[in-house]
Amino acid sequence: MNYFRTAILLAAMTALFMAVGAVIGGQTGMAIAFVIALAMNAFSYWNSDKMVLRMYGAREVDERSAPGYYGMVRALAASARLPMPRVYIMENDQPNAFATGRNPDNAAVAATTGLLGSLNEEEVAGVMAHELAHISSRDTLIMTMTATIAGAISMLANFGMFFGRNRDSNAPFGFIGMIVIMFLAPVAAALVQMAISRSREYEADKLGAEISGQPLQLASALKKIAGKAKLIPNMAAERNPASAHMFIINPLSGERMDNLFSTHPSTENRVARLVAMARERGRAAIPPAAATPRGRSGPWGSRGRSGPWG
């Protein structure tokens, strides 16, 4: 079912890309856009994970450079019965994380230094289990590919506005059509991303809590990340908003229309579901978000390149 849904959603993104091409250049523009979309889909399938990791300046770590973080991911991957993913750290003060890769055998997880430095060990484990849940459910392929295609749709719409419509084309709406498509195409791409991401976040929360065995710690982590993400900008995400749906919490500041078209469900709803899940397991109420913080030193060592986080 995931493969069928992936094909449908990618077809929708491709059709939208072709529609932008048609408005800019008529039938010729649509044909060119179709060829570009096919090439982009093929390229994205094999390389989108590398592109996203490079976009965020992620550096790969191993057991020697980040023993605590790497060992945690290895233990969680074993619990989830997944192959060991590649493990990355992003130098970013905003606490956040994402997973990428076309399948479980070619997957990667990435966490920011802000996440590793501001959450305690159990909360970090809850976050990384959530990301492994995306890998287990094979969400990462479509999440990464739609980030690439949505960004291309926005770029193509802007290209049309700057360079104008080919007068010899048979595009039906002319300059007015380009103005409309400039606004509607990114919105439509965002709506597709919303359809992809929101339900998958709930499922990843549930499966991630099962992998880690700590639904309340994941709930606590979500509250902390959401609170800090509003205060600490993620400039790489602001420059590439089409990739925002990949993160566990929306990394965008919301200064534009990010909240209106957020690809993430409300943190309060996600926390409530995790609390209900814990209660079903006979757990106590959620601990305060500030409980057992791990500062610059603690059971996982010092922050930065010299510590076990890498």
> What is the total count of domains within the chain?
1
Q: Does any domain span residue 302?
A: no
Q: Does any domain span residue 310?
A: no
Domain boundaries, position 36: 2-280
Q: Does any domain span residue 296?
A: no
Q: Does any domain span residue 286?
A: no
> What does the chain look like in DSSP terms, one character per residue?
-HHHHHHHHHHHHHHHHHHHHHHHHHHHHHHHHHHHHHHHHHHHHHHHHHHHHHHTT-EEE-TTTSHHHHHHHHHHHHHTT-PPPEEEEE--SS--EEEEESSGGGEEEEEEHHHHHHS-HHHHHHHHHHHHHHHHTT-HHHHHHHHHHHHHHHHHHHHHHHH---TTS--SSHHHHHHHHHHHHHHHHHHHHHHHHHHHHHHHHHHHHHHHS-HHHHHHHHHHHHHHHTTS--HHHHH-GGGGGGBSS--S--SSSTTTT-SS--HHHHHHHHHHHHHHTT--SPPPTTSS---SSSTT--SSTTSTT-
Q: Does any domain span residue 132?
A: yes
Catalytic amino acids? 131
Q: What is the pLDDT of residue 239?
A: 87
Q: Does any domain span residue 81?
A: yes
Q: What is the pLDDT of residue 154?
A: 66
Q: What is the pLDDT of residue 224?
A: 97
Give the Cα separation of 288 and 203 in Å (integer): 24
Q: Does any domain span residue 305?
A: no
- For the chain, the first-to-last Cα distance in angstroms comes to 38
Q: Does any domain span residue 297?
A: no
Q: What is the pLDDT of residue 40?
A: 74
Structure tokens at 302: 């010092």
Q: What are the 10-residue block averages of pLDDT along the chain, 310 residues in total?
A: 64 75 75 79 78 94 96 97 97 97 94 97 97 90 70 66 50 58 64 66 94 95 95 91 87 60 82 94 52 38 44
Q: What is the pLDDT of residue 233?
A: 93
